[in-house]
Chain A
Amino acid sequence: MIDTPHRTPVGRVVATELKPATPHQFNFWTAVETAIGIGAIVKVEGGGAGDGERVVFGVVTDAVAYSDLQTPLHDVIGAEGDPSRAAESATVRQEIRLWTAAVLRQEPEEPLQPVPLAEVFVATDADVARALRMETYLHSALPTAIPVGLYTSGGLESPVYLDAEFLLGPEAAHLNISGVSGLATKTSAVEFLLSSIFQTFPAHRGKVAAVCFNVKGPDLCFLDRPGALDDEDRRRYQRLGLEAQPFERVRYFAPFKADGVNLNTLRTHPDLVHDVEPLVWGLAEVLDFAEVLLNRDDIDAKADAFIDFLADRVMGRKFDDGFGGEHEVRSFADLDRLFRAIFDGLEAAGGGRGDMWRTHHIATIRKVRNRLSNISTRCKGLVTDDGQPNDLPWGKFEDRTVYVVDLANVDPLGQDLVFARVVSKLREHLEKQSLGVGTVAVFVDELNKYAPADGPETYVKKMLLDISERGRYLGLVLFGAEQFRSQVHRRVVGNAGTQVFGRMDSDELATPGYQVLSPATKIKLATLPVGELMVRHPHFTQPIFVRFPRPAVLRGRDGIERFPPVPDLAFEDAIARQLVGLDRRVKPNQVKDLIADREEEDVRRALAETRRKRAEDPFAYFRKALGGRVRPQAPRERDGVPPLNPISDEPY
């Protein structure tokens, strides 16, 4: 707590011709033993002549120490060449701790003048709020402050807040977090910040939700489970005015595995799997985003035109293929039947324009067919050939709810498809204000993969750019994370109003994007402990280091130990488990008896229909959807056909 002002100065501003004080930077010295460090916020007050009223806040960005030793050789001589004797000297040389600070704020702000050569104090809570210009959104009539962590310096600490208007829009928006992998800093920071947002997002700003794409491991699979916190974490939560609790409302979505019944997620422990909802899409869901499926070589107007034709003229309506066949395409299976009919028809037609169908070349048709069938093969659990889709609750998003879409084990093509479609639907609903919430934070890890600085212009990258540049007007906010910020598309990074940095790789810090940071700040970034971040925010004129408590949710690795995933179940068991998940009263044996000897495809379809319908009695509905058992009929024996010519021994 640093509510009480510390009136004892810790340093004094000095200026020389070579190291002058400027309006943006100043130097000050302190005692050798001092609590000041890189990132500390200080206040300069009580200046020299004419500067009595001026107060300057700064953040320490660099430091030097030196003694009155004229040359290192003199130390060698004094110790007679023996380093151990140097430590035996009766007197410690005079030395200086000279700190360089960047100006955060001057009061009054006009006229902007060099920093007065005055006393330096450590910043109190109130000073930190003023230095970071937080008072405008922390103490206003309609506060919009979101706690992001604790600024700490020398055992003192002070809460730091972000402005929701600049984190979640509309003034600015988006958050980008960089850091080396393996320290759990990025994921932890986002989990903590989402929790902070959910707890403090002001009611007058409407409803907020989060969509998190889990693209690796079990990172986001246990957000609803409490994690281990120590007393220090709890104290930090209390200091920030937050409850140390897991997310109250989390909905998990994961596609099936290729078997179509076991969920493709690590959250398959019997105690947890019941609240994982399958993410299943059919042709209609995929076709609008078919562009995602086309690689760079495929991108041409012809393929686009044909896909548009399918979407506009064929999907969901009766359609004459021109060869005498009538189709109603609602699934991949229906579409494949249409393609076969077209190919057969063109072959049968032969000659003339046998390579064109409805102005589309057969090669284009084959290519589109190939790509569409490819997705149903590679993402078999996500895309159903012939079944009912199950999707995120578009239009029914709930306030302060996290929607986790687990894509960790999904084919990269499928990940792209899910990402593109979910984001597009979010945007579509937000534009119409029909999502159920007004603001959605979309968390995407591995931006190095999805929005690289170089590489092909993929659909996903275009989507991310679109969110970055226009999302804030809609309430669609990107929380992106990556290992190498320098290798993420500059417009994605540049549009992030709030930038967060965890421990950074030295090579990354050597890239031009970090030139604005002092060498000392870079060293601090390269050695940041877990739980400490550097934050840039539109209200802060300089980066600020903050510490945040561990998120109060079960970490992925701990979750896997506590709730180990179960092996894939047999088809009957998996079906039974899913029905039990819909209704605890359902008896697994009843289900198994019901589906014994039934076609798996029929069972899957019935289950999907049951889930989609959300009937009061799921088992009854499932039985009805499954329909009556059709007895197999023995094939009628055919009379043999005699050979045309009797076989003889005649060789000719």
Chain B
Amino acid sequence: MSGAWWDAVVQAGAVRASFVPPAAEGRAADPDREVSLADVVEGDELGIHAVTPRPAPRAVTFLDGIEQWKVVGYDGVTPLVRARVAVAARRRAGDRRLATLAEDSRDFAVVPLDQLSPSCRAALQASDADVVDLREAPAGQPGAALDLARRAVDTARAELEKAIGEECAAGLGPDEWLVVDGLLSVSTVLARHPRVLGVIKSHGAQFFEGRHLERALTLPAAHRTSVFRVRGGHARTEVYSWYLRLWPWEGNDLLYGLVRVEAAPGAGALAGADAVSGWLARERAPLSTPDARFDRLLYPIHDVEQYLRARAPRDFFPGARTRLPRTGT
């Protein structure tokens, strides 16, 4: 892309770079390894319930987002990060095919503005680039700056997901559902909508201890736990939740095929947990291979990711080009 902000910064004295940090290849795993508070609201203690596969609702929209970033230059040792987040909602109706309902993306620069040389800073500001300023980045510590950059990109993606999700939730028909990849509790609108679900694949946050935790993590395939109320921790809005095992974990890992479902709190979630679980159990086919998370990744969510990646600028992906030094340099 000619005339891009990074070209202007390079012309202003920065050194061109092309580096995709390993952390940038995919979304960051949930870093919170804390124990959150949860109250069982279905029964007296966390129980195990068999799930019977059921047909999916007539129309369901699936929402997911991707984030991409790479270092495109260095001003001294200060990294210049180019980032892009994209979110799409794809709706599945009677033909069982997914079609895009809404999508949005954001391209931006992630840099600690204060640490840039005056010429580079001026060039960046003159380029009209969308800039996220890493104010908290420690000077002269590129590793720390990159870690902050990753968080900034993550936040940008979550904000975009929230915006698109709320827009879709507002437009849902009377029998339509919205399934969000990730936490529902990040949005009050989503967390209170009776037909919006969050499906969480990563289990950084644990809600139980002892035998309840053992029950949750050793759920048999096609079973769910009792519904529990999630509060505190990183959940900003109260939601109801339950664990659901899609595939047998024996012979793999405790978390294999295990997802956690979030729904709006209330009697509706309690009454519908079986039906929703039965529907989600059926979503385990088709397999979302070759994604390594196929045991927990619903195929429609995988489809949204594929869609977004197909539409992403190709220069974000690590190319086949060698990183060996170029001859003559």
8 Å CB interface, B302-320 against A? 303, 306
A94 touches B306 (CB 8 A): yes
Q: Are B289 and A91 in contact (CB under 8 A)?
A: no
Inter-subunit contact B303/A91 (CB<8 Å)? yes
Task: Please indicate which of the listed interface residues B287, B299, B303 has the most CB atoms of chain A within 10 Å of its own CB.
Answer: B287
Scoring B residues 72 to 109 as 1 if CB is less than 8 Å from chain A, else 0, what string do you get? 00000000000000000000100111100000000000
Nearest CB to that of A95 among chain B residues?
A: B97
Check B300 for interface membership: any CB of A closer than 8 A: yes
Nearest to A94 among chain B residues (CB) is B303
Asked if A70 is at the interface (CB within 8 A of a chain B CB), the reply is yes
Interface string of A78-97 (1 = CB under 8 A from B): 11000001101111111000
Q: A203 near B: Cβ within 8 Å?
A: no
Verify if A68 is at the interface (C-beta below 8 Å from B): yes
Binary CB contact string for chain B from 272 to 310 against chain A (1 if under 8 A, 0 otherwise): 000000010011111101100000000110010010000
Cβ contact within 8 Å between B289 and A70 = yes
A624 within 8 A of B: no
Q: Does A65 contact B (CB under 8 A)?
A: no
Least Cβ–Cβ distance between A150 and chain B, in angstroms: 32
Interface of B is mostly: loop
Cα of A14 to Cα of B167 in the assembled complex, Å: 34
For residue B279, which residues in chain A have a CB less than 8 angstroms away from its CB? 90
CA of A199 to CA of B285, assembled, Å: 62
> Could you tell me which residues of chain B, from 241 to 287, have a CB within 8 Å of some CB in chain A?
279, 282-287
Distance to closest chain B CB from A77 (angstroms): 6
Shortest beta-carbon distance from A68 to chain B in Å: 7
Give the CA-CA distance A69 to B294 in the complex, in Å: 12
Distance of A85 from chain B, by nearest CB (Å): 7
A74 and B300 contact, CB distance less than 8 A: no
Q: Which of B60, B279, B286, B300 is the most central at the interface, judged by chain A CB atoms within 10 Å of its CB?
A: B286
How many chain-A residues does the 8 Å CB contact rule pick out?
A: 19
Q: Would you give the shortest CB distance from A444 to chain B, in whole angstroms?
A: 54
- Least CB distance from A330 to B in Å reads 85
Could you give, for residues 420-457 of chain A, a 1 whenever the CB lies within 8 Å of some chain B CB and a 0 otherwise?
00000000000000000000000000000000000000
Q: B56 at interface (Cβ–Cβ under 8 A)?
A: yes
State A32–B286 Cα separation when bound (angstroms): 18
Cα of A91 to Cα of B290 in the assembled complex, Å: 17
Cross-interface CB contact of A70 among B95, B96, B283, B290, cutoff 8 Å: B290
- For residue A117, give the distance in angstroms from its CB to the closest CB of chain B: 14
The reply to whether A91 and B98 contact each other, CB–CB distance below 8 Å, is yes
Q: Say which residue of A71, A74, A75, A91 sits within 8 Å of B283 (CB atoms).
A: A91
Binary CB contact string for chain A from 81 to 123 against chain B (1 if under 8 A, 0 otherwise)? 0000110111111100000000000000000000000000000
Which of A79, A90, A92 interacts with B56 by CB under 8 Å? A90
Q: Closest approach, in angstroms, between the C-beta of A70 and any C-beta of chain B?
A: 5
**Residue contact B286 to A89, C-beta cutoff 8 Å:** yes
Q: Are B289 and A74 in contact (CB under 8 A)?
A: yes
Asked if A69 meets B286 with Cβ closer than 8 Å, knowing A91-B303, A92-B96, A94-B306, the reply is: yes
User: Are B289 and A93 in contact, with the CB atoms below 8 A?
Assistant: no
How many B residues have CB within 8 A of the partner chain?
Answer: 21
The answer for the CA separation of A92 and B286 in the assembled complex, in Å, is 8
A90–B96 contact, CB under 8 A?
yes
| Residues of A with C-beta under 8 A to B97 | 32, 91-92
Q: Closest residue of chain B to A69, judged by CB?
A: B286
Interface SS of A by simple majority: loop
Partner of B96, one of A74, A85, A86, A91: A91
Contact (Cβ within 8 A) A85 B285: yes
Residues of B with C-beta under 8 A to A69: 286, 289
Give, as a whole number of angstroms, the nearest-CB distance from B63 to chain A: 15
Write out the residue numbers on chain B whose beta carbons fall within 8 Å of the beta carbon of A74.
286-287, 289
In the assembled complex, which residues on chain A have CB atoms less than 8 Å from the CB atom of B95?
A: 92
In the complex, chain A residues 37-95 whose Cβ is within 8 Å of any chain B Cβ: 68-71, 74-75, 77-79, 85-86, 88-94
Residues of the A chain whose Cβ atoms lie less than 8 Å from the Cβ of B286? 69, 74-75, 78, 89, 91, 93
Decide if A77 touches B96 in the complex (CB within 8 Å): no
Query: Chain A residues near B289 (CB, 8 Å)?
Result: 69-71, 74
- Min CB–CB distance A267 → chain B (angstroms): 58
On chain B, the residues within 8 Å of A68 by CB distance are 306
List A contacts of B287 (CB < 8 A).
74-75, 77-78
A92–B98 CA distance with the chains assembled, in angstroms: 8
> Chain B: which residue is nearest A68 at the CB level?
B306
* Alpha-carbon distance between A329 and B306 when the two chains are bound, in angstroms: 93
Given contacts A91-B96, A91-B98, A94-B303, contact A79 B285 (CB under 8 A): yes
Chain A contacts for B96, CB-based, 8 A: 89-92
Q: Which of A77, A78, A79, A90 has the most CB of B within 10 A?
A: A90
A32 to B285 alpha-carbon distance, docked (Å): 21
B300 x A91 contact (CB < 8 A): yes
A95 → chain B, closest Cβ, in Å? 9
Contacting pair B92 A91 (CB below 8 A): yes
Q: Which of B92, B98, B282, B299 contacts A88 (CB 8 A)?
A: B282
- B95 (CB) vs chain A CBs: closest residue: A92
Say yes or no: A90 contacts B282, CB within 8 Å. yes
Q: Give the CA-CA distance A78 to B96 in the complex, in Å.
A: 16
Q: How far is the CB of A528 from chain B (nearest CB, A)?
A: 32
In the bound complex, residues from chain A placing their C-beta under 8 Å from that of B285 are 78-79, 85-86, 89
Q: Are B283 and A90 in contact (CB-based, < 8 A)?
A: yes
Pick the most buried of A88, A91, A93: most chain B CB atoms within 10 A of its CB: A91
- State the CA gap A469–B292 with chains docked (Å): 67
Complex CA distance for A89 and B279, rounded to whole angstroms: 10
Docked complex Cα distance between A88 and B287 (Å): 13
CA distance A71 to B294 in the complex (A): 14
How far apart are the CA atoms of A629 and B300 in the complex, in Å?
A: 104
Q: Which residue of B lies closest to A75 (CB)?
A: B286
| A93 contact set on B, CB distance < 8 A | 286, 299
Interface 1/0s, chain A 207-246, versus B by CB < 8 A?
0000000000000000000000000000000000000000
Assembly CA distance A235 to B299 (angstroms): 49
Within 8 A of B (CB), among A150-209: none
CB closest residue in chain A, given B60: A90
State A69–B302 Cα separation when bound (angstroms).
Answer: 12
Closest A residue, CB atoms, query B310: A94
For A78, the closest partner residue in chain B by CB is: B285
Cα A289 to Cα B162 with chains together (Å): 94
Report how far A154 CA is from B290 CA in the complex, Å: 36
Q: 8 Å CB contacts to A: which residues of B1-60?
A: 55-56, 60
By CB atoms of chain B within 10 A, which of A75, A78, A85, A88 has the most? A78
Query: Is A89 a contact of B282 with CB atoms below 8 Å?
Result: yes
C-alpha spacing A253/B113, complex, angstroms: 101
The CA of A32 and the CA of B56, in the complex, are separated in Å by: 23
A538 and B299 alpha carbons, distance in the complex (Å): 51
Chain B residues, CB < 8 A from A71: 289
Give the contacts of B197-227 with A (CB-CB under 8 A). none
Once bound together, how far apart are the Cα atoms of A78 and B53, in whole Å?
13
**B196 smallest CB distance to A (angstroms):** 18
9 contacts between A and B (CB under 8 A): A69-B289, A74-B286, A86-B285, A90-B55, A90-B282, A91-B299, A93-B299, A94-B98, A94-B306
The 7 closest A-B pairs by CB, nearest first: A78-B285, A90-B56, A92-B96, A74-B287, A70-B289, A89-B285, A78-B287
- Given A78-B286, A90-B55, output 11 extra A-B contacts at Cβ < 8 Å: A69-B286, A78-B287, A86-B285, A88-B282, A89-B299, A90-B60, A90-B279, A91-B299, A91-B300, A92-B97, A93-B299
